[in-house]
Structure 1
Amino acid sequence: MRPVAAAKLFFVIALCTTYLISVSQIGPAIYESVVANETGFAAGTMIGSISIAALSKEEAVQKVQTKVNEWKTSAQLTLAYQEKTVAIPARLFSFRVEQSVQQAVDGRPSQLVVQLDKEAVSTLAAQLATPALASSLQFDKLVNDITKSAALLQRHREPFDLARYIGQQTTEKIAVSAGSITNLGEQKAEVIAWVDNHPSIEIKGKTVFSLAAYVKGMSSLAMSTIASAVYQAVLPTNFTVVERHTSRSLPDGIPLGYEAKVDGNISDLRVYNPNTTAYTLQFQTVGTGFRVTLYGLPFTYQYVIKMGEVEYFPPKTVVQYNPSLKPGERYVKAAGRQGMLVKVKKETYDESKQLIKTEVISEDFYPPVHAIEVRGLELGTTPTNETETPSSDKAQSNEQTKTPTQEEQPNESDQYEK
Structure 2
Amino acid sequence: MKKSFLAVLLVTAMSVVFLTTFTYAMTFTYEVLFSEERLDRNAMIASVDLSDMNREEARETLQNEIRDWQEQAIVDVTWFDDVLSLPGSVFEFRVEETLDHYFSDESDHEELIVHVRETSLEDQLRSLTAPEDIIRIVDMPELMDQLEAEASALNLEISIPLRDTLEPFERLEETVTVSVSRGVDQGPLLEDWLSREPEWLVEAGEEFRVSDELSPFNGGELMNILSSGVYEAVLTMNFDIIERHTREQRYPNVPLGYDAFMDGNGRDLVFRNPMDTDYVIGFEEASGGLSITVTGYELPYMMEVRLEDVRTVDPKTKVTHTRDLEAGESRMDSFGENGEFALVMRSRFDEFGELIDEEVVSRDFYRSVNALEERSSLEPEPEPEPEEEPENDGFPENGNGEFPDEFPDNGDWDDWDDWNDWNGGNGFPDNGNGIDGQNGNGSTGNGTDPSNGNNSGTGDGSDQNGGGVNGTNGTNGPDIPSSTDEDGNPIKGM
- Taking structure 2 as the reference length, the TM-score comes to 0.55
> How many angstroms apart in 2 are the aligned matches of 1:143 and 1:310?
51
Q: Give the alignment of 1:101-120 within 5 angstroms.
A: 101-102=100-101, 104-106=103-105, 110-117=110-117
Deviation at 1:282, TM superposition (A): 1.4
- Residue in structure 2 matched with residue 380 of structure 1 by the alignment: 380
Q: Secondary structure at the match of 2:309?
A: coil
| Cα distance change of structure 1 residues 314 and 98 upon mapping to structure 2, 3 Å threshold | closer
Shift of 1:229: 0.6
The match for 2:145 is 144
CA 317–207 in structure 1, closer or farther in 2 if over 3 Å, else same: same
Match in the other structure for 2:311: 311
CA contact (8 A) 1:95 1:112 kept: yes
* Matched residue SS, 1:309: strand
Mapped contact 1:342–1:363 kept (Cα < 8 A): yes
Q: Distance in 2 between matches of 1:289 and 1:166?
A: 41
Structure 2 residue aligned with 1:243:
243
Does the Cα contact within 8 Å between 2:186 and 2:289 map onto a contact in 1? no
Give the counterpart letter for 2:152 in structure 1: A
Which letter does structure 2 place at the counterpart of 1:146?
L
> What's the secondary structure of 1:312's corresponding residue?
strand
**Other structure's SS at 1:290 match:** strand
- AA aligned to 1:80 is V
Task: Pick 1 or 2: higher relative contact order, CA cutoff 8 A, min separation 6.
Answer: 1
Indicate the residue corresponding to 2:158 in structure 1: 159
Distance 2:116 2:62 in 1: 17
Report if the CA contact (8 A) 1:281-1:292 is conserved.
Answer: yes
> What is aligned with 1:406?
none
Measured after TM superposition, the shift of residue 112 of structure 1 is 4.0
Q: Are 1:220 and 2:220 matched, yes or no? A: yes
Change (3 A) 1:215 1:135: farther
Distance in structure 1 (CA, Å) of the matches to 2:227 and 2:196: 16
Number of aligned residue pairs: give it: 341
Aligned to 1:268: 268
The amino acid that maps onto 1:40 is E
- 1:274: Cα distance to partner? 4.2
- Contact 2:341 / 2:364 at 8 angstroms: preserved in 1? yes
Q: Which residue of 1 is the match for residue 421 of structure 2?
A: none
Residue 41 and residue 266 in structure 1: after superposition, are their counterparts in 2 closer, same or farther (change >3 A)? closer
* Contact 2:94-2:114 within 8 A present in 1 as well: yes
Contact 2:62 2:95 in 1 (8 A): no
- Pair 1:197 & 2:189 matched: no
What residue is the counterpart of 2:253 in the other structure? 253
| 1:43 equivalent in alignment to 2:44 | no
What amino acid maps onto 1:173 in structure 2? Answer: E
Change (3 A) 1:97 1:174: farther
Greater CA deviation, 329-338 or 348-357?
348-357
Structure 2, unpaired ranges of 5+:
1-30, 383-494
Q: Are the aligned partners of 1:43 and 1:107 in contact in 2 as well (CA < 8 Å)?
A: no
- Quick check: 1:233–1:294 contact (8 Å CA) kept in 2? yes
Alpha-carbon contact 1:93-1:117 (below 8 Å) kept: yes
Deviations 1:249-279 (A, max 9, x none): 2211211111111121243222233455433
Structure 1 letter corresponding to 2:372: I
1:75–1:90 contact (8 Å) kept in structure 2: no
Distance 2:346 2:381 in 1: 56
Cross-structure match for 2:84 = 85
1:377 to 1:106, Cα distance in 2 relative to 1, 3 A: closer
Aligned residue runs from structure 1 range 280-295, under 5 A: 280-295=280-295
Unaligned runs of 5+ in 1: 1-33, 383-418
2:400 is matched with which residue?
A: none
Structure 1 stretch displaced more, 306-315 or 316-325? 316-325
C-alpha separation in 1, matches of 2:59 and 2:364: 68
- Residue identity matched to 2:311: E
| CA distance in structure 2 between the partners assigned to 1:75 and 1:371 by the alignment | 64
Residue 492 of structure 2 is matched in structure 1 by none
- Greater mean deviation of Cα atoms: 86-95 or 229-238: 86-95
- Over 3 Å counting, the alpha-carbon distance change for 1:83 and 1:207 in structure 2 is same
Identify if the C-alpha distance between structure 1 residues 243 and 98 changes in structure 2 by more than 3 Å, giving closer, same or farther: closer
Measured at CA, do residues 200 and 65 of structure 1 come closer, stay the same or move farther in structure 2, by a change above 3 Å? closer
Structure 1 residue 229 corresponds to structure 2 residue 229: yes
Amino acid at match of 1:208: E
- Flag the 1:139–1:176 CA change in 2: closer, same or farther, 3 A: farther
Q: Which residue of 1 aligns with 2:181?
A: 180
2:320/2:374 contact within 8 Å kept = yes
Are the aligned partners of 1:346 and 1:359 in contact in 2 as well (CA < 8 Å)?
yes
User: Which is further off, 350-359 or 288-297?
Assistant: 350-359
Residue by residue over 1:6-49, the C-alpha shift from the partner in whole angstroms, topping out at 9 and shown as x without a partner, is xxxxxxxxxxxxxxxxxxxxxxxxxxxx9598541343355654
Instruction: Give the secondary structure class of the aligned counterpart of 2:226.
Output: helix
Contact kept in structure 1, 2:285 and 2:291, CA below 8 Å: yes
Partner amino acid for 1:316?
K
Q: Is the 8 A contact 1:249 1:366 kept in 2?
A: yes
Change (3 A) 1:128 1:196: farther
Larger deviation: 36-45 or 223-232?
36-45
Q: Decide which structure has the larger Cα Rg and report it.
A: 2
Q: Is the 8 A contact 1:174 1:296 kept in 2?
A: yes
Shift of 1:236: 3.4
Alignment of 1:317-356 (within 5 A): 317-320=317-320, 323=323, 325=325, 331-349=331-349, 355=355
Closer/same/farther in 2, CA of residues 223 and 37 from structure 1, 3 Å limit: farther
Return closer, same or farther for 1:202/1:51 CA change in 2, 3 Å cut-off: same
Whether the aligned pair in 2 keeps the contact of 1:104 and 1:110 (CA below 8 Å) is no
CA contact (8 A) 2:82 2:128 kept: no
Alignment match, 1:391: none
CA distance in 2 between counterparts of 1:367 and 1:223 reads 22
Asked if the contact 1:244/1:261 (under 8 Å) is kept, the reply is yes
Deviation, 1:106, is: 4.7
